[in-house]
Amino acid sequence: MAEPLYTAFTGAQAEANSIALLEGRYSLPDLLDPATTAFLSHCRFHKDHVPVHLEVTTSDHVYFWSRNPEDKGSEPHGLHNGHFKAAAQSPVIASCDALY
């Protein structure tokens, strides 16, 4: 991504600009190439879009990992969930994990 879009969509106003784009309120810069302009002009929320609250609290995180089996994992490389289950035992680490 190049300027001016880089600053607009990665800087302090990234979230506001992204929402404005998806709602059709973002004014695209004149300097964009035609393909980028065409693509961004079609980026919109679906007409029936309802925002979803996606926050994961520390208690959500701890509850989730307390119910998952330690020996299972989502990685094809043999990694397992043990480190998440162990981290859920620490309030500090669990709160950090819940943020990301």
pLDDT tens digit sequence for 25-70: 999 988 889 999 999 999 999 888 888 888 889 999 899 888 888 7
The domain segmentation of the chain, as residue ranges, is: 5-41, 58-99
Mean pLDDT for 58-86 is 81
Residue keyed to tokens 């119910």? 67
pLDDT at 97 exceeding the cut of 90: no
pLDDT at 90 exceeding the cut of 80: yes
Residue 7 burial class via C-beta count within 10 angstroms: exposed 0-12, middle 13-18, buried 19 and up: middle
Cβ(84)–Cβ(65) below 8 Å: yes
Look over the chain and give the mean of its residue pLDDT values, rounded to a whole number.
Answer: 86
